[in-house]
Amino acid sequence: WLMPSELGYLEAEGLEKTWRFLQESIVREVDILSSRLTITRVSRHPNQHTHIEDSLSISSAQTYLSFLCADLGPYTIDYASSGRYMAVGGRKGHLALIDMKILNLIKEFQVRETVRDVVFLHSELFFAAAQNKYPYIYNKDGTYFTALRLASSTSRNEHGAVLKLQFLRNHFLLASINKFGQLHYQDVTHGGMGWVTYSCGKVTMWRPTSAAPLIKMLCHHGPVSAMAFHPGGHLMATAGMKRKIKLWDLRKFEVLHTYPGHAKTLQFSQTDLLGIGSGSLVQVWKDTMGNQEYSRYMSHSIVKGYQVGKLHFQPYEDVLGLGHSMGISSILVPGSGEPNFDTWVANPFETSS
C-alpha cells in the first residue's frame, strides 16, 4: 500500500494486436502530463547558434519529441538516472542538455569536432562526450572541465578515439572502448587511470579490479552488432550481424531463446521491456507470460531513410528516446517506466534546494 502506482500497459481487445497501435492512437488516450511533452523542429542551418532552443517554444498536439537537424547528425542521447535530464550529441559537434520535465534548454553549444557518444556521470551536473581524440567532461553549464588524456601523447594508456562510453555509478568509473578494441576505465574522482585491457571481438565480461576478462562468451557466429543488460543483471540480450537476437541467462551462461531479427541498438527498460532499433524501425518486446519469452509488444517506424543509432528508455517515464541520422525523437511506450521511485536513489522532481 506504500507503492500505489501500477504499470499501465497497452491492452488489445478481440483480434487486435498491440504492436499494430499507432503513436497517434496512443496520444489521444494518454493523460495531460504525457501529452505536454512536445518538441517539434526542423533545422537546416548548422551555423546558427541555437537549434533546440527555438524548438522548445513550439507546442502542438504531438506527444513525441522530434528535433531534426540533418547537417549535424547522426545523433546520440543519454538520460540522467532521475530521467529528468537528457544529453544530446550530434556527430558534427552539436551538444545540448535539456530539462525534460519543464522542456527547458539548459545549455547548447558547438565543439567543432566529431562527437561519437555522450553519457551523464554521477548526476546531471557533469557529462562526458566522446570527441575526436579524447573523451571530454563538461559541467551542466557547458563549461569545459577536463579532457581525459595523459601528459604523454604516445602513452598506450590514452583513451584514444573513443566509440562508446558508459559510466559505472557504483564505482565512479568511466568506461570507454575505442576503435582499436581497447577498453579503458577512468576514475573520475581523482583522474587516475586504472588499467587497460584489450578485446578480440568476443563478448567478454570484466571486473574493474581485474586485468583479464572473467568470462568469455561466443554469442554469435560473426560480429556482435548490439547488446544490453537487464536492470536486474540476470539477463543479457545480444544481436548478431547474421540476423539473430539471443536472450542469455547470465546465472548459467546459456541461451534462453533465439529470435530472428537484426538490431543496431538494444535497451532494457526499468520494467523489463526490450527496445530494438534497426534501420528506420523501432520495436519493443515484452515478456508477456513472465517466463522470459519475449514477443512483440509495440512497433514504430520513423521516416523512411532515417537510421536509428541509439535508443534509450527515459527512467520513470513511459517514453523511449531515439537518436537517429537526422536528429532526435521520442515515442510513448506505455508501461516502460517504473511508476514508483525511491528519492534516496533518484528523484525526477528534485530541485536545486
The closest of 163, 167, 166 to 182, measured between CA atoms, is: 163
Residue 197: pLDDT over 80: no
DSSP 108: E
Q: Report percent pLDDT > 70 for the chain.
A: 82
User: Is 153 a domain residue?
Assistant: yes
Higher pLDDT, 14 or 152: 14
What's the angle, vertex CA 28, arms to CA 23 and CA 30, rounded to 5?
90
User: Is 104 a domain residue?
Assistant: yes
Q: How far apart are CA 168 and CA 27, in angstroms?
A: 35
- The domain of 195 spans 76-216
Least confident of 70-84, 142-156, 238-252: 142-156
Stated pTM of the model: 0.85
For 100-125, the pLDDT digits (tens) are 888 888 999 999 999 999 999 988 89
Higher pLDDT, 64 or 290: 290
Residue appearing with cell numbers 539471443: 246
pLDDT of residue 156: 54
Q: How far is CA 333 from CA 8, 89, 106, 282, 315, in A?
A: 10, 23, 26, 11, 12
pLDDT of residue 47: 47
Binned at pLDDT 50, 70 and 90, residue 59 comes out as very low
Residue 288: pLDDT over 80: yes
Sorted by sequence, the CB contacts under 8 Å of residue 328 that are 6+ apart come out as 65, 66, 67, 75, 77, 88, 321, 322
What's the angle, vertex CA 134, arms to CA 128 and CA 138, rounded to 5?
30
User: Is 123 a domain residue?
Assistant: yes
Average pLDDT over residues 75-83: 94
Average pLDDT over residues 51-77: 66
pLDDT of residue 165: 92
The closest of 118, 111, 105, 189 to 144, measured between CA atoms, is: 111
Residue 50: pLDDT over 90: no
The dihedral over CA atoms of 138, 111, 86, 268, expressed in degrees to the nearest 10, equals -100
Residue 284: pLDDT over 90: yes
User: Is 184 a domain residue?
Assistant: yes
User: Is 304 a domain residue?
Assistant: no
Residue 168: pLDDT over 60: yes
Residue 40: pLDDT over 70: no
User: Is 309 a domain residue?
Assistant: no
pLDDT of residue 60: 31
Paired residues of 322 in beta bridges: 311, 329
Residue 5: pLDDT over 80: no
Residue 202: pLDDT over 60: yes
**End-to-end Cα, the chain, rounded Å:** 29
DSSP 20: G
For 213-267, the pLDDT digits (tens) are 888 888 888 888 999 999 888 999 999 888 999 999 999 999 999 999 999 999 9
pLDDT of residue 191: 55
User: Is 175 a domain residue?
Assistant: yes
User: Is 3 a domain residue?
Assistant: no
Domains: count for the chain: 1
Paired residues of 85 in beta bridges: 99
Mean pLDDT of the chain: 82
pLDDT of residue 147: 86
pLDDT of residue 279: 92
Environment class of 253 (CB within 10 Å of its CB; exposed 0-12, middle 13-18, buried 19+): exposed
Cell numbers found for residue 40: 517539434
Q: How many CA atoms lie within 13 A of 332 on its CB side?
A: 24
pLDDT of residue 39: 43
Binned at pLDDT 50, 70 and 90, residue 280 comes out as very high
pLDDT of residue 31: 58
CATH number at residue 168: 2.130.10.10
